[in-house]
Amino acid sequence: MDRRQFIFRGLALGISASLGITGWQYYASESDSNRDWVLSALLPALLYGALPKDTTLAQHELARTQTAITDFMPYLPVSQQQELADLFALLANRISQLALSGHITALPQLSVNQRLALLASWRDSYLLVLQQAYHGLRELLYGAYYGQPEHWLPITYTAPKFC
Amino acid sequence: MTANHLDASQFTANQHFTADIVIIGSGAGGGIAAEQLTNAGFNVLLLEEGAYYRSNDFVMEERWAYPNLYQEGAARKTQDKSIGILQGRTVGGSTTVNWTTSIRTPPSTLDYWHSEFGLNFTGENDLAPFFQHAEQRLSIQPWPVPPNANNAKLQQGCEALGWQYTVINRNVNGCANLGYCGMGCPINAKQSMLVSTIPTALSNGARLISRLSVRKLLWQDHQVTGLEAVPVDAHFQPRSDIKVTIAATHYIVAGGAIGSAALLLRSAVPNPSGRLGKHTYLHPTVISGALFADDINGHSGAPQSIYSDQFVWPRDNNVAGYKLEVPPIHPVLMATKLIGTGEAHAALMAQLNKLQVCIALQRDGFHPESQGGTVLLDAQQQPVLDYPITDYMWQGMRQALLSMAELQFAAGAKQVLPIHHDAKLYSSLPEAKAAIEQLPMVKLRQTVVSAHVMGGCNMSVNANNGVVKQNGRHHQLQNLSVFDGSILPTSLGANPQLTIFALIWRNCQLLIKELM
């Protein structure tokens, strides 16, 4: 366990303890579902204003982005993949999420503004790991969304049809 | 599959190879070395961690290019995540994905190396003939086409303010002015190592093994005796199921700054100077966006054709110098750097084609408070760069933001956006200046990026002040050379590829004389 994992897990355990709850655990086998759960909650907020108004089209874009993130992550260094898995586990845990967001409501039930406020609170946090989480997620998610040619119409970007 | 090329990911059993000379890395250093040494008749084995992709693979899409052609999927970061690093990882190295800017080593940089490291590049050591060789070999010449609007605004701002600017020399032949150099040239116009020196080396009989990660040099009694390597998987992660061993007479490490230092650290080579992996430089870069009334379309046309050295060599060395350039403007590159979230971010992205972007590359390594970073190894023995940013450097970055805002307004910008997470669009220079003066210059608030990695195995005359000699030969291990940008003792104050081409060309000629 490196320093960052130590901090993430320490943070989660500390939050649990402060609420009188024990038994916070991280299972690697849960990492895919944690990731999908967290992305499903955060992507619509980060991409608010970029997604099409049409709900069906928006769902397609969200699904495409989520797939792109899943496809991209194995290219990251193993240490960064582990950091992301830890972050997703932390956010998927209702108890730690309560302490991080101040909301008892599960992440997906928060309003878009509440989710954006949560992200902004990480950006402005005194904890370096939360600042890093904000920037890391932001780059990962925006990179995945704007990498898809299907999403370029609103930004009127077209690559030359050369090949 | 090309004759003489092996894809290590296809190996199904342990392998052993021998050669006169093994070159680890196929970028600016390794590519030049492969051609020079095979021209001299040596049996060369060229190793590359990345894949052997060629023009037909280059589909001009960031979503393919970044994971497949760049280190860590173009998401490489310094240890504290405060600096993003773009560095190639493919056959041809960063020359396959760079923006073609080719600048000779600034004389002031060579003077500094002379005074601080005893390195004399005058007289018989003059690099000028080797610059000429490289420029001729790689079609390096001033870009004759008018700059695209992104570069033109840099030029216009300089003209309006009376600032110095230069038309960039590019290593292209038959360039169609597409603007996608960073994703691999789809028409083989860019004279990267991929399409120039490496094909020649292969036709001379060199063998290329791609998707192979060298993990360790074996050595004893001042001699390298062999190396151990493993194939990488489909995502370029080192595998553990197959082992490749290689024995050669001479070993050339050319894995690029960060990569070369990491290999030597894993190998625990002698390091009496204590400098191995240290003093790794980045040209730490800050960014300023600007919205113009007219279309910029910064994704189209040669990515870099104008630069300004107005501020790169300030008279007062207590002020950090910086070079002004522009980057190409593509969706992923911009979306990941533009600030804000939700509607605010979407609104900026919607104006992508009216966005002009300047970058200021800080000349690091020339001041006691600018001593670069240190390459470390993580739990997987992979490199991580610890690069602290000092107050001296932060103040230089603030000054760079001020200069870029001044330039962009002088060029006619309607609004300027310093890429800092506390900044916003400013509509006048006084407003921008007042805001920039107040921005907290701290990590993860001020966005910092790098596309130039240098140092970590610096050359020096004296063994207690460097890792390799002036000719790139290791100070302690007799049959080991380091032939890449990691031997630079400071950053350059200029884009590095032409310096590496010339320096390694010269070092190869010296090596050939010694080995013949």
* pLDDT mean over A7-24: 47
**Helix, strand, coil % over all residues of chain B, rounded to 5:** 30, 25, 45
Full domain range(s) for residue A56: 3-16+49-155
pLDDT band at A24 (very low <50, low <70, confident <90, very high): very low
**Residue A100 pLDDT more than 90?**
no
List the single residue in B with minimal CA-CA distance to A148: B63
How confident is the model at residue B111, as a pLDDT? Answer: 97
Q: Which residues make Cβ contacts (< 8 Å) with residue B412, sequence separation at least 6?
A: B153, B156, B292, B293
Residues of B in contact with A76 (CB under 8 A): 72-73, 75
Q: Do A160 and B180 touch (CB under 8 A)?
A: yes
Give the nearest chain B residue to A48 (CA atoms).
Answer: B342
Amino acid at B219: W
What is the count of structural domains for chain A?
Answer: 1
Does B192 have pLDDT greater than 50?
yes
Residue B45 dihedral angles phi and psi, to the nearest 5°? -115, 120
Is B461 in the A-facing interface, judged by CB distances under 8 Å? Answer: no
Whether B4 has its CB under 8 Å from any CB of chain A: the answer is no
Instruction: Find, among B233, B206, B201, B276, the residue nearest to B49 by Cα.
Output: B233
Break chain B into its structural domains and give their ranges.
Answer: 11-100+103-137+186-276+456-515, 149-171+285-363+390-442
Per-residue pLDDT at A1 exceeds 60: no
Q: What number of residues does chain A have? A: 163
- Residue in the structure block whose two tokens are 């008749």: B41
B215 and B381 in contact (C-beta within 8 Å)?
A: yes
Does residue B104 sit in helix, strand or coil?
coil
Could you name the CATH architecture of B149-171+285-363+390-442? 2-Layer Sandwich (3.30)
Task: Specify if A68 maps to a domain.
Answer: yes
Q: How far is CA B269 from CA B23, B29, B46, B471, in A?
A: 17, 21, 21, 19
Predicted local confidence at residue A20, as pLDDT: 44
Q: Domain for residue A30, yes or no?
A: no
Check whether A110 has a pLDDT greater than 90: no
| ipTM of the prediction | 0.96
Contact state of A162 with B382 under an 8 Å Cβ cutoff: no
Q: In this complex, which of B235, B330, B343 lies closest to A49 when CB atoms are compared?
A: B343
CATH number of the structural domain B11-100+103-137+186-276+456-515: 3.50.50.60
Does residue A24 belong to any structural domain of this protein?
A: no
Q: Which residue from B73, B176, B379 is facing A72, i.e. has the nearest CB? A: B73
Question: What are the residues of chain A with a beta carbon less than 8 Å away from any beta carbon of chain B?
Answer: 2, 45-50, 68, 72, 74-80, 112, 116, 119-120, 123, 128, 131-132, 135-136, 138-140, 142-143, 145-149, 152, 154-157, 159-160, 162-163
CB-CB under 8 Å, B81 with A136: yes
Does the residue A31 lie in any domain? no
Chain B residues near residue A154 by CB distance under 8 angstroms = 346, 349-350
Distances (CA, A) of B464 to B183, B276, B365, B461, B471: 41, 11, 18, 9, 16
Cα separation, B47 vs B228, whole angstroms: 12
Residue from B461, B451, B254, B475 nearest B360 by CA: B451
At residue A159, the pLDDT reads: 76
A12 — pLDDT class (breaks 50, 70, 90): low
Burial B393-429, CB ≥16 within 10 A → b, else e: bbebbbbbbbbbbbbbbbbebebbbbbbbebebbeeb
- In Å, how far from its chain's centre is CA B470? 21
Is B60 in contact with A162 (Cβ distance < 8 A)?
A: yes
Q: Is residue A32 part of a domain?
A: no
**pLDDT range class, residue B249, cuts 50, 70, 90:** very high
CB nearest B336 (choices: A79, A112, A139): A139
Least confident of A93-97, B40-44, B302-306, B311-315: A93-97
DSSP assignment, residue B168?
P
Nearest to A78 among B75, B237, B350 (CB): B237
* Nearest chain B CA: its distance from A35 CA (Å): 19
Of B176, B234, B331, the CB nearest to A146: B331
Quick check: B62 and A147 CB within 8 A? yes
Per-residue model confidence (pLDDT) at position A27 = 46
Across all residues in chain B, what is the average pLDDT?
Answer: 97
Structure tokens at B410: 């002088």
Q: Are strands B244-253 and B15-24 parallel, antiparallel or unpaired?
A: parallel
Q: Are B507 and B478 in contact (CB under 8 A)?
A: no
Amino acid at B65: A
Residue B261 phi/psi, 5° resolution?
A: -60, -40
CB count within 10 Å of CB B183 equals 25
What's the pLDDT score for residue B144?
97
Q: Is residue A33 part of a domain?
A: no
CA nearest neighbour of B335 among A139, A153, A71, A50: A139
Instruction: Collect all residues of chain B within an 8 Å Cβ-Cβ radius of residue A80.
Output: 72, 75, 77
B166-167 and B480-482 beta bridge pairing: unpaired
pLDDT, residue A18, reads: 46
